[in-house]
Chain A
Amino acid sequence: MIADLPPGLILILGALVAPMIPAGLRRFYILALPALALWQLLALPAGVHGQVEMFGQILIFLRVDPLAEAFGIIFLIAAFIAAIYGWHEEEVLQHAAALIYAGAAIGAVFAGDLVTLFIFWELTAIASVFLIWARRTEPAYWSGMRYLVIQIGSGVILLAGIVLHYHATGSIAFGALGLVSPGTMLIFVAFGIKCAFPLLHNWLQDSYPEATVFGAVVLSAFTTKMAVYALARGFAGTEILIWIGAVMTVFPIFYAVIEDDLRRVLAYSLNIQLGFMVVGVGIGTELALNGAVAHAFTHILYKALLFMSIGAVLYRTGTAKASELGGLWKSMPLTAIFCLIGCASISAVPLFSGFVSKSLILSAAGKGGHLIPWLMLLTASAGVLAYSALKIPFFAFFAHDSGKRPAEAPASMLIAMGLAAVLSVGIGVWPAGLHALLPFPVDYHTYTASHVLTQMQLLLFGALGFAVLMRNRLYPQQLPATNLDSDWLYRRVCPLVLRSIRDIVRQVHGNVLRRARIRLQRFIATVYRHHGPQGALARTWPAGSMVLWVAVLLCITLIFSYVE
């Protein structure tokens, strides 16, 4: 039984015990859990284990294959790094939420059937919202509410899809699904919500920047990559994904350029990087799927690294807004260096991790002859400097001096950032290590002279473009503002429509009620007139007149009887 223990369950059950452990020991305990789960994961033999019969269905809690393993490993590495980063965080709630969240994401990745997937799919939503609420601000509370509604909504759509799919096929197996029936289409939409497809994306930019310093790092790793995994499992080679992904890589760029809150910039940038993975899944060849998985792997590391470095800035200065920062490298040099390593990785500079993974996807797009998606990916690859890789370090650590001289980040944060940085550079220098973890055999040479040269050209000229814009003051000034995005629809338009409907209903209801009341009053007045104290029918008559009337009636009866 122990041999079949799902690694995700180690984190979930371990988290439930965490509050009972003394605070001093707890920190080590929280670090040990992901390490233990990784140990268990690596010991699992390939194949299907942990079957449980429930409701007449066989639920598979452990389907171990290379695709699931790759995601499981990076999720556990991310959980471990986040645990180090959160060393300073005293609040046990956040650690427990993070562990359950990570455990649920890992559980979803190893789920062999759709019902098990659904259980963990919803658990990630419920556990993760506490990382937002833990900020304990009014905006965080409301943002968390919106996040929860959308995330749970995704789960409900998934469940509806599973029911329809089961009804149509009689199977709950989670394998390749394809867009073939209403059931699988609903499942696709459910995955799309968590994967932040265009127009379904805004929960991400809304909620992650509202989370705690520690929470944002944890959030950045799991939900969206779990969705990428689910798409890779269920919808590999679905052509529409190429276009969805390509749009995802381009349109958030504009928002990222003008956004002032650097953690929100990172959220937009996360969205763009997801687009690369979605394109890879959509192309669906072995090279492309390897690329999608590799990019999820490297992306989790460098995105966590970037969230950690900006989180450290927020932790020390109390703000993550570009308009309020600048010149921090003078007092936070190590954080600045780690941030730059993250930026080099995200922009795919040779010898950094992004170069290894992004090139697989671009090559797959090229080999498949997808010219327009390829150009869109190339646009995002060049634009990355303008919207994040140069923008973020420039405004946070360089640019004009804000006069802020915060202390360097705490040692625990530096260790976590250092670990993510070492792994990012390690993958860049030694791609074979990452290649070994990918689901399909890799026959790809990352470092060819032509490839390195063209990528360096793309980036250097992109940097030159950024410099030219800065010198000529053409780069948008960083200003605190709200930029309308698709959330405007449900935060402004929907309430407005609902409010107008409410007003109309209220008015009609009021009118009907008023008229009804007038009629009722009239009716009561009539009844009162006849039956009230002075009403003709309610008067008290003297006995004499009663006798007279009885005599009159008897007379009439007598007359009638004679007439007959």
Chain B
Amino acid sequence: MSDPRNGEDRQAGAGYWVDRKGRMSFLYRTLWVICAVFAAADFFFAHHPMFKIEGFPVFYGLFGFIVTIGLVLGARELRRIVRRDENYYDR
């Protein structure tokens, strides 16, 4: 990518709120806060569990977090085995 276009991009990008420095960290921290609020809310609502395991505090939140990380890390390992060149079948 050529330098002039990068420069042009930065000028054009400066107009966007999310492109400014630190905005991503702000959004990231906000997500943590929202998650904390929803985790806390868990203790103020009556649940209708179908399985015993659902009674675990913040079950759905923890499940979602762990599963997401587990799946993605699992996929990284899978890639080691199944990844081939883009034109693998053409040869």
A residues adjacent to B (C-beta < 8 A): 139, 253-255, 257-258, 330, 363, 366-367, 371, 374, 378-379, 382-383, 385-387, 401, 403, 448-450, 453-469, 471, 474-476, 479-485, 491-492
Residues on A with beta carbons closer than 8 Å to the beta carbon of B13? 401
Other-chain residue from A383, A462, A482 in contact with B84 (beta carbon distance below 8 A):
A482
Contact between B68 and A481 (Cβ–Cβ < 8 Å)? no
Contact of B72 among A257, A366, A484 (CB under 8 A): A257
Report how far A139 CA is from B86 CA in the complex, Å: 12
- Main secondary structure, interface of B, reads helix
A sample of 7 inter-chain contacts (CB < 8 A) reads: A257-B75, A382-B67, A403-B9, A453-B42, A455-B60, A469-B68, A484-B88
Contact B47 A385 (CB under 8 A): no
Of B50, B72, B89, which one neighbours A475 at CB under 8 angstroms? Answer: B72
Closest 10 CB pairs of A and B: A465-B68, A366-B50, A257-B75, A461-B64, A462-B64, A457-B61, A482-B88, A382-B64, A461-B65, A458-B64
Closest to A379 in B: B67
Q: Are B58 and A457 in contact (CB under 8 A)?
A: yes
Known: A258-B83, A461-B35, A483-B79. A371 touches B51 (CB 8 A): yes
Q: Which of chain B's residues have a CB closer than 8 A to the CB of A458?
A: 60-61, 63-64
A254 and B75 contact, CB distance less than 8 A: yes
**Residues on B with beta carbons closer than 8 Å to the beta carbon of A465:** 64-69, 72
Main secondary structure of the interface of A (DSSP, over half): helix
Q: Is the CB of A462 within 8 A of B82?
A: no
Q: Which residues of A contact B72 (CB under 8 A)?
A: 257, 386, 465-466, 469, 474-476
Please name all residues of chain A whose beta carbon is closer than 8 Å to the beta carbon of B53 when the two chains form the complex: 371
Query: Are A387 and B71 also in contact (CB < 8 A) when A481-B86, A483-B84 are?
Result: yes
Q: A457-B61, A480-B86 are in contact. Are A466 and B78 (CB under 8 A)?
A: no
Q: B81 CB to closest chain A CB, in angstroms? A: 8
Of all chain A residues, the one with the shortest Cβ separation from B27 is A467
Q: Is the CB of A450 within 8 A of B60?
A: no
User: Is B14 interfacial (CB 8 A cutoff)?
Assistant: no
Pick from B42, B67, B68 the residue with the most CB of A within 10 Å. Answer: B68
Q: What is the minimal beta-carbon distance from B53 to any residue of chain A, in angstroms?
A: 8
8 Å CB interface, B1-42 against A: 1, 5, 9, 13, 16, 19, 28, 31-32, 34-35, 38-39, 41-42
Whether the Cβ atoms of A457 and B64 lie closer than 8 Å is yes
Partner of B78, one of A258, A378, A401, A482: A258
Instruction: Establish whether residues B69 and A463, one from each chain, have CB atoms under 8 Å apart when the complex forms.
Output: no
Find the residue from A363, A456, A458, A474 having the highest chain B CB count within 10 A: A458
Assess whether B63 is in contact with A382, with CB atoms less than 8 Å apart. yes
Which B residues are in CB contact (< 8 Å) with A254? 71, 74-75, 78
The listed residue (B46, B60, B69, B75) touching A258 by CB distance below 8 A is B75
Q: Cβ of A475: which chain B residues have Cβ within 8 Å of it?
A: 72
A379 to B73, CA, bound (A): 14
Point out the residue from A387, A401, A468, A483 that lies within 8 Å of B83, measured CB to CB. Answer: A483
Given A258-B83, A403-B9, A457-B60, 16 further pairs, Cβ under 8 A: A254-B75, A257-B72, A258-B75, A258-B79, A382-B64, A382-B68, A385-B68, A455-B60, A456-B38, A461-B63, A465-B67, A467-B28, A474-B73, A474-B76, A481-B84, A484-B81
> B61's contact among A387, A448, A460, A468, by CB below 8 Å, is which?
A460
Q: With A257-B75, A258-B83, A460-B34 known to touch, is A378 a contact of B69 (CB < 8 Å)?
A: no
Residue of A nearest to B79 (CB): A258
Which of B42, B47, B61 neighbours the largest number of chain A CB atoms within 10 Å of its CB? B61
